[in-house]
Amino acid sequence: MKVFRKWLILFRDSPRHEGFGIARTLLLSALVGAGVGLGAVVLVSLLQLSEWFFLGLLANYKPASPAGEPVVFALPEIFGSVRRWILLFLPMLGGLLSSLIVQRFAPEAEGHGTDAAIEAYHFRGGKVRPVAAPVKAVATSLLIGTGGSAGCEGPITQIGSGIGSTLAGLLKLPVADRRALMAAGMGTGVGALFHAPLAGAIFGAEVLYRDLDLEYEVLVPSIIASVTGYSIFSKVFGFNPLFSTPDIVYSRPEMLILYLVLAVILAGGARFYTWMFYTVRDKFEALELPVVLKPALGGLLTGIIGFMFLPALCSGYGVIQEALHYNHELTGRAAYSALKLMIGVFFLKTLSTSFSVASGGSGGIFGPALVVGGALGAATGIIFSLLLPGWDVPIGSFTLVGMVAFFGCAAKMPISTILMVGEMTGNYRLLVPSMWVCMIAYMLSRKVSLYRMQLPNRFDAPIHRGAMISGVVHNVKVRELLEGKGDGGLLLTVREDTPLGVLVDAIAEGVQGVFPVVSPDGIMLGMVTEKELADVVKSDPILRSTLLVADISLREYAVVTEDDILQKALAYMDAGDMDEIVVVSGDGLRKPIGLLSHNDIAAAYQREIEKER
């Protein structure tokens, strides 16, 4: 183990030679993929153990499953009827147990998990607590294993991000590398569970933004990690596609008319699914109940729905597996029964998922979205088949396209979901209608997203803001910006003999957060920042009345002159994690003459953009 760690540290600290860089990326990405692949194996095993005990032994219920779903703990043969009265209360028990574990060990593991991972990437430097991954795995297996309506895909996203972040933390990698490994872990688990490694690799780069934008920097590690994770997971559970499909082909361009109608219906359905989920979440957040009891209440409501309509429970993949084999020969009473079933799945699965997860339960909304979308696609195909008997409508293809297009537009990830069609079923012949429906549905639902932490695009991402701004304002001088400010960038200075309490009061008034320390003739001698001042006052409040500015003044600090370009100022601010920087005279005397902030530079950026329009 010590030798292995030494090798990892060698790769971490290796020179930026091209060969070292390639080997370093390959090793670290493969390690993340291996960790997530094993994590997916553990998650599936825990889930099936939970289902075997709670659903099989206690409730005598065996939910239908897709053809390629791995089997670890086979549910016992069912004799007799389902014990519905036990099944009624099992989701409540699962919600309670899941919530107790989450709130005790890792509150961030509450909910579907994907938003937490996206937030960590954008706003927390890619940091995810190591404890979040195992807590998420156990909590999710309890929620779904007791009949809760949720999926494993959101949780594996958070688990994968935790594995990538933890590895980067152990090796003390830079923030950029930690984010890359974290994003690679996010998509790897999805690719493994769906047997869709390419879609999983793109998922990690696409899920971060609402617009058609990708985090290109994470693509290489994501692909390497996804291949590794998929290979390990499939070595354990087999390489067969998750769903089996008949020999469905796209050979009639006139069907694009019907697929266009399907796209419009799916866009409306995605809006309804998202609205229902967040409406239920807001209602539960407003309830005056202890946090741990809310998922139990959500589980009880889910159990009531499942008592009347069993397909509303668990993942629901088995119902969609059946619908994939529907075809134009489905007529008469059988067609109307299937239509009734699919409409019931759409509405009741949406409601049960909202109760299970939006109440605070630990489970994903990715899988249920696929089920709901597949049901809506199947229902649309059945209606077309009944109305247009001479068209021989391939209902199974509407089911498959409905699955991926619904989630693609609801989660704002059309590219990865289009790729998922072929990998998930082993059938690449529906790529054309999938592209058609996905993109149209996406455009019709641009303002709606299941993932609230997604940013519009890279221009809005904090990690890219500096690069975006510096590329536009690289020729603008600091002097120009100071002259454009109403107060000329005026700032307050302090003397070395100023009592610390005076400075504390000035900062409390919000005047500024950086104070140059100057000599009697105005030459800059040092600097005091809000952070240093806060550290001193927190350590001992009495010090504010006994210390002078000279006692805490920084002697090493970054400044810019009025002749420097804004790009240099921005680079200094980003390197020092500063919101403001002092501007000094360019005559060599280093007299403070102004103050620049990130807001000032952002305003200059906006003006330059307006000039180019």
Indicate left, alpha or beta for 484 from its phi (over 0: left) and psi (-120 to 50: alpha): alpha
Same-domain check for residues 469 and 605: yes
Lowest mean pLDDT among 26-30, 474-478, 505-509, 537-541: 537-541
Cβ distance 28 to 11 under 8 Å? yes
pLDDT, average across residues 267-295: 92
Whether residue 246 is contained in a domain is answered as: no
Same-domain check for residues 273 and 378: yes
Whether residue 242 is contained in a domain is answered as: no
In the prediction, which pLDDT does 67 show?
77
Percentage of residues of the chain with pLDDT beyond 90: 32
Residue 542's pLDDT band, with cuts at 50, 70 and 90, is low
Burial of 19 (0-12, 13-18, 19+ CB in 10 A): exposed
pLDDT digits (tens, 9 = 90+) for 589-600: 778 888 888 777
Top-ranked range on mean pLDDT: pick from 6-15, 230-239, 492-501:
230-239
Lowest mean pLDDT among 20-34, 189-203, 540-554, 582-596: 540-554
Same-domain check for residues 191 and 58: yes
Cβ distance 51 to 314 under 8 Å? yes
In the prediction, which pLDDT does 2 show?
56
Same-domain check for residues 30 and 147: yes
How many angstroms separate the CA atoms of 136 and 363, rounded? 8
**For residue 509, what is the domain's CATH number?**
3.10.580.10
Q: Is the pLDDT of residue 250 over 90?
A: no
Same-domain check for residues 443 and 472: no
Whether residue 172 is contained in a domain is answered as: yes
Same-domain check for residues 392 and 492: no
Which strand ranges, in their side-by-side order, compose the sheet holding 514-518?
494-495, 514-518, 524-529
What single letter denotes the amino acid at residue 101? I
Strand duo 580-584 + 592-597: pairing? antiparallel
Element (H, E) at 274: helix 255-286
Q: Is the pLDDT of residue 173 over 60?
A: yes
How many angstroms separate the CA atoms of 354 and 347, rounded? 11
- DSSP H helical ranges for 495-586: 500-508, 530-539, 566-575
How many angstroms separate the CA atoms of 45 and 476, rounded? 59
- DSSP H helical ranges for 109-218: 114-123, 132-145, 153-170, 175-193, 197-206
- Cβ neighbours of 607 (radius 10 Å): 14
- Closest-CA residue to 522 (of 552, 548, 492): 492
pLDDT digits (tens, 9 = 90+) for 342-376: 999 999 999 999 999 999 888 888 889 999 999 99
- Closest-CA residue to 397 (of 414, 380, 409, 410): 380
Residue 14's pLDDT band, with cuts at 50, 70 and 90, is low
Same-domain check for residues 260 and 211: no
How many angstroms separate the CA atoms of 552 and 559, rounded? 18
Whether residue 248 is contained in a domain is answered as: no
Whether residue 114 is contained in a domain is answered as: yes
**Strand partners of residue 517:** 494, 526
Higher pLDDT, 536 or 388: 388
- Cβ neighbours of 395 (radius 10 Å): 28
Last residue in a domain, options 206, 237, 268:
237
Whether residue 247 is contained in a domain is answered as: no
**Strand partners of residue 51:** none
Last residue in a domain, options 457, 475, 501:
457
DSSP string, 281-337: HHHHHHS-S-GGGHHHHHHHHHHHHHHH-GGGSS--HHHHHHHTT--TT--HHHHHH
Indicate left, alpha or beta for 157 from its phi (over 0: left) and psi (-120 to 50: alpha): alpha
- Closest-CA residue to 121 (of 458, 359, 469): 458
In the prediction, which pLDDT does 62 show?
84
Same-domain check for residues 90 and 216: yes
Q: What is the CA radius of gyration of the chain?
A: 28
pLDDT, average across residues 388-411: 90
Cβ distance 222 to 204 under 8 Å? yes
Q: Which domain holds residue 413?
A: 255-457
- Cβ neighbours of 449 (radius 10 Å): 18
Same-domain check for residues 104 and 32: yes
Same-domain check for residues 41 and 159: yes
Residue 523's φ and ψ, nearest 5 degrees, are -85, 135
Count of structural domains, the chain: 3
Last residue in a domain, options 237, 264, 298:
237
Same-domain check for residues 403 and 421: yes
Q: Give 239's contacts (C-beta < 8 A, 6+ positions apart).
A: 195
Residue 406's pLDDT band, with cuts at 50, 70 and 90, is very high
Element (H, E) at 581: strand 580-584
Element (H, E) at 361: none
pLDDT, average across residues 388-408: 90
Q: What is the 3-state secondary structure (H, E, C) of 192-246?
A: HHCCCHHHHHHHHHHCCECCCCCCHHHHHHHHHHHHHHHHHHHHHHCCCCCCCCC
Same-domain check for residues 423 and 472: no
- Closest-CA residue to 468 (of 580, 579, 609, 611): 609
Whether residue 143 is contained in a domain is answered as: yes
**For residue 168, what is the domain's CATH number?**
1.10.3080.10
Lowest mean pLDDT among 272-281, 420-429, 506-515: 506-515
Report which DSSP code applies to 511. Answer: S
